[in-house]
């Protein structure tokens, strides 16, 4: 009557935390009246952090640390960054062309608005007034902030948990490596984490867009997110400390690195301690030192490798990358113009 049957089977189980499909030995206990919950024989521990979703840190096979797994992320980083800057160059060209063509049309529309009687400020007009009051940088990051808020809301849907962990957290041990390098840049599990990142981005948006322009800023921001994730991949593979990472910190660190390098004498302050001010140059040194110490000592509350990758990318770009990449965008624009104006011979 109390007879139990034990069956050992091999199953494929997708590891939470973006892990690969791995074969795991599971011992099923089957009593006479039904099944019990399977118990993993290999030890697992729950990954706990206020910044990341509750996923399991598991023991990975040695193949997870193979350098071959970095080949696709490397080419994805190069290819995506190239596409980002190429698209930004075309975007700027089209924007300037359209702006020039519509100059007189807009002037005529403004003249008609002045001579027509105003019926009062409606909700749409109030939104337009608020939007027009923003700086070019604040307008540029509004879409980024909206995307981060949208992805944060997706984390609150239990049915999407598996998809969110797979595609919106970056982990070199995952079966999906490339798309999470970009998507995790817009992903936050913690509300405070998202608010802090978006506040910093909003605060530096005016400066960075005034330095680079809207189109170039978008290319740098997206490329920095992918580059910082790749640096995180390399460090995790080197140390064998796998785990999920998410957040816009790597891309935002590139913004900080660029602004602090370009305007080192600017005065900064911490939001909760506004009485203490310091220069942007000193802040940049402190950020690099803190993340370097965290990487060496193995602190895991933040992804310090991603932070360092982002800030170093921002510094490199304003010092050298702008001249190497953006100033040589003319061939891309010419090729786009040729394709757009091409007409087949009849």
Among 81, 187, 190, 249, the one annotated catalytic? 249
Q: Which two tokens stand for residue 257?
A: 């690195």
- Is the CB of residue 26 less than 8 Å from the CB of residue 9? yes
* φ, ψ for residue 120, nearest 5 deg: 110, 165
Residue 186: which of 244, 227, 147 has the closest Cα?
A: 147
Q: How far, in Å, are 151, 282, 307, 318 from residue 261 at the CA level?
A: 31, 10, 16, 8
CA separation for the pair 63, 83 (Å, rounded): 31
249 is catalytic: yes
Task: Say which DSSP state 64 is in.
Answer: G
The position carrying tokens 């007879």 is 3
307 is catalytic: yes
How far does CA 292 lie from the centroid of its chain?
21
Q: CB neighbours (10 Å) of residue 40?
A: 13
Q: Known catalytic residues?
A: 249, 307
């Amino acid at each position: 009557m109390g007879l139990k049957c034990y069956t050992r089977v091999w199953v494929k189980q997708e590891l939470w935390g973006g892990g690969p499909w791995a074969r795991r030995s599971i011992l099923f206990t089957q009593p006479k009246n039904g099944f019990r919950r399977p118990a993993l024989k290999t030890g697992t521990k729950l990954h706990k952090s206020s910044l990341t979703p509750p996923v399991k840190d598991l023991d990975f096979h040695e193949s997870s640390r193979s350098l071959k797994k970095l080949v696709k992320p490397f080419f994805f980083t190069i290819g995506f960054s190239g596409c980002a800057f190429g698209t930004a160059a075309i975007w700027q060209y089209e924007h300037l062309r359209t702006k020039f063509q519509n100059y007189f049309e807009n002037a005529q529309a403004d003249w008609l608005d002045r001579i027509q009687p105003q019926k009062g400020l409606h909700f749409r007009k109030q939104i337009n007034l608020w939007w027009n009051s923003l700086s070019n940088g604040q307008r540029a990051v509004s879409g980024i902030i909206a995307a981060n808020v949208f992805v944060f809301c997706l984390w609150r849907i239990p049915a999407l948990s598996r998809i969110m962990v797979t595609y919106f957290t970056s982990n070199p041990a995952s079966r999906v490596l490339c798309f999470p390098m970009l998507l995790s840049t817009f992903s936050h599990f913690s509300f405070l984490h998202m608010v802090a990142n978006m506040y910093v981005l909003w605060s530096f948006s005016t400066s960075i867009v005034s330095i680079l322009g809207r189109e170039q800023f978008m290319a740098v921001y997206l490329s920095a997110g992918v580059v910082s994730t790749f640096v995180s991949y390399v460090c995790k593979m080197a140390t064998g400390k796998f785990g999920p990472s998410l957040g816009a910190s790597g891309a935002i660190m590139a913004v900080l690195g660029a602004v602090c390098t370009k305007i080192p004498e600017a005065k900064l302050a911490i939001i909760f301690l506004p009485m203490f001010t310091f220069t942007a140059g000193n802040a940049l040194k402190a950020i690099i030192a803190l993340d370097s110490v965290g990487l060496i000592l193995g602190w895991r509350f933040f992804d310090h490798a991603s932070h360092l990758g982002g800030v170093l990318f921002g510094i490199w770009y304003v010092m050298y990358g702008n001249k190497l990449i953006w100033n040589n965008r003319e061939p891309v624009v010419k090729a786009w113009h040729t394709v757009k104006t091409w007409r087949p011979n009849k």
